[in-house]
Amino acid sequence: MLLKSIVKPKGRLTTVREDATLEEALKILEDSGFRCVPILDKTGRLFRGNIYKMHIYRHKSRGGSMQDPVTSLLKNATKYINVNAAFFNVFFSIKDLPYITVLDDNNYFYGILTHARLLDVLSQSWNVNVGSYVITVISGDERGDLASIAKIITKYTSIASVISLDVQEGELVHRTMFTLPANVEEKKLQQIIDNLERKGFRVPEVEDLKLGRNRNQ
């Protein structure tokens, strides 16, 4: 499973037990350097929520007792996904969280998926390390457009990766980004663009992966 392969498992994480005090939790956060860590029950199996360093400091600055239980400031108790969840569900769950908690099939704490790891996986989908150019192709809302674009490109070269954007019901224009292999040179790139535009597709932007810059067409 893709999701399971990118989750940081419990054994490699810093966590806080639910019977810890805020003072103990703050020390763990300070020592680890994390701004937020999971709170687990006394068995270390059940996820209770997250504790944030900023909330402890706010509590302390307002005269709150540092001997209060860590659970008094727990957040995100219902923010988690199953380890076998569909990958796209992650995007609806993680949002502004530093990470999303992942539970196993028994609803025990399995680990976390961080924003950084998720972005790393997405960046890999661009295949920037084995690509030459990324071309953005604008198409209408016609059935078969994606197949037609791919057919034109593959007359000249294979496709390293493809990502479709703005694909929502009712959208009249779609943007699709194609990463071309590393062996594609400028001349072949221009042939691809010219052919696409002759067929009614627009290529408003080309990203040169070798030079690390965009250029408008």
pLDDT in tens, 128-137: 667 889 999 9
User: What is the per-residue pLDDT for 8?
Assistant: 94
Examine the pLDDT at 171 and tell me if it is beyond 60. no
Examine the pLDDT at 117 and tell me if it is beyond 60. yes
Nearest residue to 83 via CA among 100, 53, 103, 97 = 103
| Structure-token pair, residue 13 | 């994480």
- Give start-end residues of each CATH 3.10.580.10 domain in the chain: 2-121
User: What is the per-residue pLDDT for 13?
Assistant: 97
**Residue 92: exposed, middle, or buried by beta-carbon count in 10 A (0-12, 13-18, 19+)?**
exposed
| Structure-token pair, residue 36 | 């937020």
- Give start-end residues of each CATH 3.30.70.260 domain in the chain: 127-216
* Fold assignment, 2-121: CBS-domain (3.10.580)
* Fold assignment, 127-216: Alpha-Beta Plaits (3.30.70)
Per DSSP, the chain holds a count of helices (H) and strands (E) of 7, 12
